[in-house]
Structure 1
Amino acid sequence: MVFNCTDITAVLEKYYLSSTYGIEFCIGFPGNLLVVLGYIFCLPVWQSCNIYLFNLAVSDLIFLCTLPRLSYLYANYQSETLPYACIINRYILHVNLYSSILFMVWLSMDRFLLIKHPTRNHYLLRPRAALIVTGLSWLAVNVEVAPMIVLMIQDLQSTNWTRCSDFASLKGDVNTFGYSLGLTVTGYILPMLGLCGFSLKIAHLLRAQERVLQRRTISFKRPLRVVASAAALFLILYTPYHVLRNVRIASLQAWAKLQVCSRMYIEALYILSRPVAFLHSVMNPVFYFLMGDKFRELLWAKLRKMFRQTEQQREPT
């Protein structure tokens, strides 16, 4: 059997993308749905932290709903035949990608301000301020991703509306390589610096408190671990995707002058990085339980009450 390098991407799409997207949906959808319903029905008073977490969960939930369709198409060697579905799917994917890390930055900011202002007297710790920040965040992310709609429409027109391409394969009047680099800087690198910055600020603040109080502030150690874990999570999951996406787009440029097999191997590595980047939607529910004020207790109390009611109804009268 002779190996053809042009077949590697089709094999990865059929067996790797279809299975990983299916697994991510099966694990991530129930977790995020539980969080969304828990916030709606179990949380009587919302703090600023809860507003950021709720928007993060909604973003993840909407994105995860697109994965079954993608998994089915890749498993059957098919491309999305509905142009509007292609555009909406890719748009939701990238909006979630960049809104997730942005909301995590605001959560980190919230934890830092809460440690610095335990009485919640800072303006940014008020629910109204959180709603304003959330609205501006959604606006900023949509502005960042909006040029992609133009690229997708132009690319679909070039294939007579029959081929739904990934972002790294789009062709149009917009400079795809420049746009991807700009999106990487504004959507990933700057928020990543924000996450790392708040981690350092929290660590510095805790050290200062320990020196003043001459004891370990154990109650404030958890926010530092959570924020540092969030920074590490996005660094590990997002970096390979963004590096390989830009390398993939660069490999398609005329000035790259790469051979066909070299481009195929680069595309294969890029395909491998895509589900890894989207794992954040599966793992984010962990942060809801770690960072949500009293959310765990209220959710468990609600679930225990529901189970007791169910058992009572099953008991014979």
Structure 2
Amino acid sequence: MVSLSIHTICNKNNHTMVLNCTLIDDVLERYYLSPFYAIEFCIGFPGNLLVVLGYIFCLPVWHSCNIYLFNLAVSDLIFLCTLPRLSYLYANEQVETNPYACIINRYVLHVNLYSSILFMVWVCMDRFLLIKHPMKNHYLLRPRAALLVAGLSWLAVNVEVAPMIALMVQDLQSGNWSLCKDFASLKGEVNPFGYSLALTLTGYILPMVAMCGFSYQIAHLLHVHERALQHRATSYKKTLRVVASAAAMFLVLYTPYHVLRNVTIAIWQPWAGVKLCTGMYVQGLYILTRPLAFMHSVINPVFYFLMGDKFRQLLFAKLRKLLRKTERPRQPA
């Protein structure tokens, strides 16, 4: 009887432990993802909206760098519009039941993830070419070339994300179109682990290497021309700091997300043989990295003011002009 009681207690304890570890996702989604996404929207949406409107109404002449930054701001703005619904669903412990909303949300999320770093690569390339060709006589420094590069970038990112759409449709079909899952939990004919690794390589690692390469080249040019261009060394150093900061931002925000996304997908494969609670703990760590990866949408507006050619001065001048117009009717006759 004693041994039977002990065995019963152990079984109950194991069952309780399993129940507790399976609740990790629900707790993190409600008390971590929901407020984090709400904060990102409240801070990032006004900043990116201000930049988009500023570029449209305040910038009379667009250079190649402005075109890349504008596309980056538009991508961030569209993504941020999806966060309120996600925050609401997580806060109320609800799941997305509309399959169209599910697919569009995940599509926008991942297109923004990889278009942002790609457009920042072109910004870094533009700054490098501008230092190497101060007279702006390089083909890629022309606005038409920048429009072509931006269009091809959107096409490339959509091609990268297209297999995910097929994987999501297959997963929704298997769940009777009623359960919207995160990328790391999808199952279908497309191999999710192999696809995630390929997406990490093409969408993150290669652009990250390119950003670091442009940072190195700018530093090299700065070192070579430091004596000959002493009067412009300060502006060159500012460009180097901005480009290096952009590379560091994506390295810090994207690396944990991609590492844990691939690990999470791997542990749920049949060949992994990982225990349920171990997998749930790893998945919990992956959830922690998700809003951090999209923090770039909040930070990016800082680079618009640092890199844009006279954009800050033009924007502030426009805002002061609008404020003066609103104050005039209030003055007594």
| Fold agreement, TM-score > 0.5 | yes
Structure 2 length as normaliser, TM-score?
0.94
Which amino acid is the alignment partner of residue 10 of structure 1?
D
Farther off after superposition, 306-315 or 279-288: 306-315
Report the alpha carbon displacement of residue 66 of structure 1 after superposing the two structures with TM: 0.1
Report the alpha carbon displacement of residue 314 of structure 1 after superposing the two structures with TM: 1.2
Which amino acid is the alignment partner of residue 285 of structure 2?
L
Report the alpha carbon displacement of residue 211 of structure 1 after superposing the two structures with TM: 3.6
2:99 is matched with which residue: 83, 86, 101? 83
Report the alpha carbon displacement of residue 9 of structure 1 after superposing the two structures with TM: 1.0
Report the alpha carbon displacement of residue 313 of structure 1 after superposing the two structures with TM: 1.6
What is the match of residue 135 of structure 1?
A: 151
Q: 1:216 to 1:49 in 2, by over 3 A?
A: closer
Cα distance in 2 between the residues matched to 1:18 and 1:285: 23
1:44 is matched with which residue: 60, 73, 86? 60
Cα distance in 2 between the residues matched to 1:114 and 1:124: 10
Which amino acid is the alignment partner of residue 75 of structure 2?
S
Report the alpha carbon displacement of residue 206 of structure 1 after superposing the two structures with TM: 0.4
Residue 265 of structure 2 is aligned to residue 258 of structure 1: no
Cα distance in 1 between the residues matched to 2:27 and 2:228: 60
Q: Secondary structure at the match of 2:271?
A: helix
Q: 1:314 to 1:129 in 2, by over 3 A?
A: same
Which amino acid is the alignment partner of residue 179 of structure 2?
R
Report the alpha carbon displacement of residue 215 of structure 1 after superposing the two structures with TM: 6.8
Q: 1:92 to 1:205 in 2, by over 3 A?
A: same
Farther off after superposition, 3-12 or 91-100: 3-12
Residue 151 of structure 2 is aligned to residue 151 of structure 1: no
What is the match of residue 239 of structure 1?
A: 255
Which amino acid is the alignment partner of residue 16 of structure 1?
Y
What is the match of residue 141 of structure 2?
A: 125
Cα distance in 2 between the residues matched to 1:6 and 1:82: 24
Q: Secondary structure at the match of 1:91?
A: helix
What is the match of residue 322 of structure 2?
A: 306
Q: Secondary structure at the match of 1:217?
A: helix
Any residues of structure 2 matched to 1:140-219 within 5 Å, and which? 140-213=156-229, 217-219=233-235
* Residue-pair matches, total: 317
Any residues of structure 2 matched to 1:215-234 within 5 Å, and which? 217-234=233-250
Report the alpha carbon displacement of residue 287 of structure 1 after superposing the two structures with TM: 0.3
Q: Secondary structure at the match of 2:281?
A: helix
For structure 2, the 5+ residue unaligned runs are 1-12
Report the alpha carbon displacement of residue 216 of structure 1 after superposing the two structures with TM: 7.0
Any residues of structure 2 matched to 1:89-128 within 5 Å, and which? 89-128=105-144
| Structure of higher CA gyration radius | 2
Report the alpha carbon displacement of residue 221 of structure 1 after superposing the two structures with TM: 1.0
Q: Percent identity?
A: 77
1:62 is matched with which residue: 64, 72, 78? 78
Report the alpha carbon displacement of residue 142 of structure 1 after superposing the two structures with TM: 0.2
What is the match of residue 8 of structure 2?
A: none
- Alpha-carbon displacement from aligned partner over 1:209-263 (angstroms, at most 9, x marks no partner): 0143467711211110000000000000000000000000001001110001001
Report the alpha carbon displacement of residue 77 of structure 1 after superposing the two structures with TM: 1.0
RMSD: 1.2
Report the alpha carbon displacement of residue 135 of structure 1 after superposing the two structures with TM: 0.4
Residue 67 of structure 2 is aligned to residue 29 of structure 1: no
Deviation beyond 2 Å, 4+ runs, structure 1: 211-216
